[in-house]
């Protein structure tokens, strides 16, 4: 069983608000995203999470690092936040930087019964589930003690699904909203706070 794990999705970005596909492309937090990041940081502080009790690691993508800076400040972590390339979002290939609504208008939107991840995994030239699943698994294998991970929507779901000991068929059972703090402790998944 893993040590206590907090998983945070980065706050809202300008591209999230515009419905533009990010994948591993860079986009900064907007004002709402900074407010969400500050709220998540306060929630962790209320749980007694500090740099002395938990490690902090972030995706190197700027939206996650900006979120992690809020968290680091609340945790009393000084210096640069440790980053891990395996915490990056799903690579969306040819769809990165395109508008969701344009893809839908072109007939390449989600099919009936698709989850969001199912649709994203069809991106031409994009990352496939086996590689994405393995990447998340490597993150969990490196965890040595209680840890806070700051990452992305799809990666967050895969990490938490694996941490629960579930398979890919259960990915849609976990929430993935921005602004929420997810905790896995003693094999139990919970939402610590909701900032929406």
pLDDT, tens digit (0-9, with 9 covering 90-100), for 21-69: 999 999 999 999 999 999 999 999 999 999 999 999 999 999 999 999 9
Q: Where are the beta strands (DSSP E) in the chain?
A: 5-9, 55-58, 82-83, 147-151, 181-185, 188-193
Cα(5)–Cα(26) distance, integer angstroms: 26
Residue 113 pLDDT: 85
Residue 196 has pLDDT above 80, yes or no: no
Residue 9 pLDDT: 97
Cα(158)–Cα(161) distance, integer angstroms: 5
| pLDDT level of residue 194 (50, 70, 90 thresholds) | low
Q: Are 57 and 147 in contact (CB under 8 A)?
A: yes
Cα(10)–Cα(58) distance, integer angstroms: 10
Write the pLDDT tens digit of every residue in 138-178. 999 999 999 999 999 999 999 999 999 999 999 989 999 99
Residue 114 pLDDT: 86
The pLDDT mean for the chain works out to 95
- All domains of the chain in start order, with CATH: 5-193 (3.40.50.1240)
SS3 82: strand
Q: Are 58 and 151 in contact (CB under 8 A)?
A: yes
Q: Is 89 a catalytic residue?
A: yes
Residue from 89, 127, 152, 189 carrying the catalytic annotation? 89
**Tokens 């000084």 -> residue:** 78
Residue 86 has pLDDT above 60, yes or no: yes
Q: Is 10 a catalytic residue?
A: yes
Cα(127)–Cα(142) distance, integer angstroms: 22
| pLDDT level of residue 195 (50, 70, 90 thresholds) | low
Percent of the chain with pLDDT over 90: 92
Residue 146 pLDDT: 98
Q: Where are the beta strands (DSSP E) in 71-177?
A: 82-83, 147-151
Q: What is the CA radius of gyration of the chain?
A: 16
Cα(138)–Cα(128) distance, integer angstroms: 16
Q: Are 110 and 119 in contact (CB under 8 A)?
A: yes
Backbone conformation region of residue 164, classed left if phi is above 0, alpha if psi is from -120 to 50, else beta: alpha
Q: Which residues contact 105 (CB under 8 A, 6 or more apart)?
A: none
């Amino acid at each position: 069983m893993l040590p206590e794990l907090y998983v945070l999705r980065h706050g809202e970005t300008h591209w999230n608000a515009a419905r533009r596909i990010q994948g591993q492309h860079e986009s900064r937090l907007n004002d709402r995203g900074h407010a969400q990041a500050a709220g998540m940081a306060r929630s962790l502080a209320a749980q007694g999470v500090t740099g002395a009790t938990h490690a902090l690691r972030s995706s190197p993508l700027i939206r996650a690092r900006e979120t992690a800076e809020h968290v680091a400040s609340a945790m009393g972590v000084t210096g640069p936040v440790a980053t891990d390339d395996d915490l990056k979002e799903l690579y969306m290939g040819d769809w990165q930087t395109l508008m969701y609504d344009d893809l839908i208008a072109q007939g390449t939107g989600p099919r009936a019964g698709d989850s969001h991840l199912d649709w994203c995994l069809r991106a031409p030239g994009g990352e496939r589930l086996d590689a994405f699943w393995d990447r998340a698994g490597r993150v969990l294998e490196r965890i040595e003690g209680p840890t806070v991970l700051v990452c992305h929507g799809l990666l967050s779901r895969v990490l938490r699904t694996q941490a629960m000991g579930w398979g890919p068929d259960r990915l849609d059972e976990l929430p993935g909203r921005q602004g929420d703090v997810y905790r896995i402790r003693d094999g139990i998944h919970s939402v610590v706070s909701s900032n929406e």
